[in-house]
Amino acid sequence: CGVFGIYAPGENVAKLTYFGLYALQHRGQESAGIATFEGTQVHLHKDMGLVSQVFNESILDQLPGSLAVGHTRYSTTGSSRKVNAQPAVLETRLGSLALAHNGNLVNTVQLRQELLENKCNLVTTTDSEMIAFAIAEAINAGADWLEGAIQAFHRCQGAFSLVIGTPNGVMGVRDPNGIRPLVIGTLAGNPVRYVLASETCGLDIIGAEYLRDVEPGELVWITEEGLASYHWSQQPQRKLCIFEMIYFARPDSVMHNESLYSYRMRLGHQLAKESFVDADIVFGVPDSGIPAAIGFSQASGVAYAEGLIKNRYVGRTFIQPTQTMRESGIRMKLNPLKDVLAGKRVIIVDDSIVRGTTSRKLVKTLREAGAVEVHMRISSPPVTHPCFYGIDTDSQDQLIAATKSVAEIAKQLEVDSLAYLSWEGMLEATREDTNSFCSACFTGDYPVAIPEQVKRSKLS
């Protein structure tokens, strides 16, 4: 999911949030929503669809206020329905709260039970709503906004980057492992105004300047007095999702002081070093495979050319919830360039193979278009384990690399050769401490323990 928050009295906060969400659209295409606060009054609009489908000028005009939070949804828990769209708005003793969540809790079974015992009226099926209820519960028992939120966060296990609107200000929060990203930006002026976004591309679009990341286990509270920071977790550690870097986040977003485009090019360099093969051209699977393909070309000397053209108006195939939709989505999306491919030995680079369905189709497409050899290179290691923290990599039995060796996968995809980047190569390219990432979908080493019953739902 994508989350956005802004505290900027005097500005059109709904419009700024709209543009922020627009830039974060790649993080979720199922539903979109904005909540604004005008004093104690909350205004909310949310619906299924893309940001540009859910909002228009007149809807935005009906969302006045001095602060706002917004969300674009990508469903991993809870069904794909309008009631599950966010922000989730609840009433508390101190007024309304509007919560937007990116990530996935792993202790939802227990949390749901506790909340139901306390007679919470859960209306949706999402873990996000449970967080909102846990905050409301603490506040109704006497806590203030900060205490109430922190008490609730201690009951949550898993991944949560949150933006929360209240009548008094906006909160930005990351879980103790900082699995999902969240950045702080500033809008110039007197006083300076603060913005929160999942990625820096959500700041760029409104002309906000990147200040810093919200730290793992940190809560920032943005009010008329400015920005205050609270380190609420006793055991914070850096476990940013490495999949954000190799695939999920936008290439123009900056993490660790460089664009992910540069990082992904370096993955391509490393991939060429590890698994060079001679060929006439190399290209990436649009869009996610392109930076690594350029890197592969630079490091190997194999000419870069476009072999596939993408219709950019079709959503990411894997975000659509059913297998049937996924398969038809692929056909709508990529078209081969026959005159570029005919008679050529080609290297096709992609960021990952999950189920293998896209890749197998693509190889077939390339051969039909005249490619004489098809070599596939993947800029991350084999995905062998499911994600429980908010990326929809499906259950383990759906993952092609969970049960098959690289040679077996090559055979199934009908490629002439297949190589994945090594785990070490992927981490080395980050130029950060290798311990500061979650890479559980490649290793099975989950930084937040997965309760048994949840494990059983996805691990075979």
What binding mask, one character per residue, do residues 223-242 give for ligand SF4 by CB under 6 A, x or -? Answer: ------------------xx
- Given the residues 1, 120, 156, 438, select the one marked as catalytic: 1
CA 49 vs CA 32, 85, 127: distances in Å: 7, 10, 21
Q: Which of 172, 178, 168, 230 is nearest to 196 (CA)?
A: 172
Nearest to 419 by CA among 406, 408, 428: 406
Ramachandran quadrant class, 65 (left: phi over 0; alpha: psi -120 to 50; beta: rest): left
N residues, the chain = 460
Least Å distance, CB 353 to ligand 5GP, is 5
Stretch of 196-204, 322-330, 361-369, 434-442 lying at the interface with ligand SF4 (CB under 6 A):
434-442
E strands, 289-351, in order: 303-304, 308-310, 334-336, 345-350
Complex with ligand 5GP: residue 128 or 379, whichever CB lies closer: 379
Q: Which candidate, 228, 87, 46, 235, places its Cα nearest to that of 145?
A: 228
For residue 407, with 0-12 CB atoms within 10 Å meaning exposed, 13-18 middle and 19 or more buried, which class applies? Answer: exposed
The residue within the footprint of ligand SF4, chosen from 438, 448, 450, 454 (CB under 6 A), is 438
- Sequence-separated (6 or more) residues with CB below 8 Å from residue 104: 76, 77, 127, 158, 159, 387, 388, 389, 390
Q: Which is nearer to ligand 5GP, 218 or 350 (CB)?
A: 350
Any idea which residue has 């698994």 for tokens? Answer: 275
391 lines the binding site for ligand SF4 (CB under 6 A): yes
Least gap, CB of 51 to Mg ion (angstroms): 21
* Position among 288, 320, 379, 393 found at the interface with Mg ion (CB under 5 A): 288
Q: How many residues bind ligand SF4 (CB under 6 A)?
A: 11
User: Rule CB under 6 A: is residue 439 a binding residue for ligand SF4?
Assistant: yes
CB of 316 to Mg ion, least distance (A): 8
1 catalytic? Reply is yes
One of 18, 133, 153, 389 touching ligand SF4 (CB under 6 A): 389
Least distance from C-beta 73 to ligand SF4, angstroms? Answer: 17
Tokens of 394: 């499906």
Q: How far is the CB of 439 from ligand SF4 (least distance, A)?
A: 5
Stretch that binds Mg ion, among 157-165, 267-275, 288-296, 297-305 (CB under 5 A): 288-296
Please report, as residue ranges, which positions from 140 to 179 form the binding site for ligand SF4 (by CB under 6 A). Answer: 179
* Residue 358 contacts which entry, ligand SF4, ligand 5GP, Mg ion, none (Cβ below 5-8 A, type-dependent): ligand 5GP
Residue found under tokens 């008679």 = 343
Check binding of 396 to ligand SF4 (CB under 6 A). no
Query: Which of these ranges, 138-146, 324-332, 435-443, 452-460, lies near ligand SF4 under the rule CB under 6 A?
Result: 435-443
Choice between 132 and 441, CB closer to Mg ion: 441
Residues near ligand 5GP, by CB under 6 A: 247, 285, 288, 318, 350-359, 391-393
From Mg ion, ligand 5GP, ligand SF4, none, interface partner of 379 (C-beta below 5 to 8 A by class): none
Rounded to an integer, what distance in angstroms lies between the CA atom of residue 383 and that of residue 443? 8
Angle between helices 127-140 and 145-154 (to 10 degrees): 130
Q: Does residue 359 interact with Mg ion by CB under 5 A? A: no
CB nearer to ligand SF4: pick between 243 and 296? 243
- Nearest partner of 196 among 13, 64, 60, 62, judged by Cα: 13
Q: In 3D, which of 197, 361, 208 has the Cα closest to residue 285?
A: 361
To ligand 5GP, the closest distance from the beta carbon of 447 in angstroms equals: 18
Sign of CA dihedral 59, 96, 131, 6: positive
Q: What is the secondary structure of 163-188 as a DSSP string?
A: EEE-SS-EEEEE-TT--S--EEEEE-
Q: Is 387 in the site for ligand SF4 (CB under 6 A)?
A: yes
Classify strands 240-241 and 437-438 as parallel, antiparallel or unpaired.
parallel
Q: Which residues are catalytic?
A: 1
Q: Which residues bind Mg ion (CB under 5 A)?
A: 288
Q: Which residues bind ligand SF4 (CB under 6 A)?
A: 179, 241-243, 387, 389, 391, 438-441
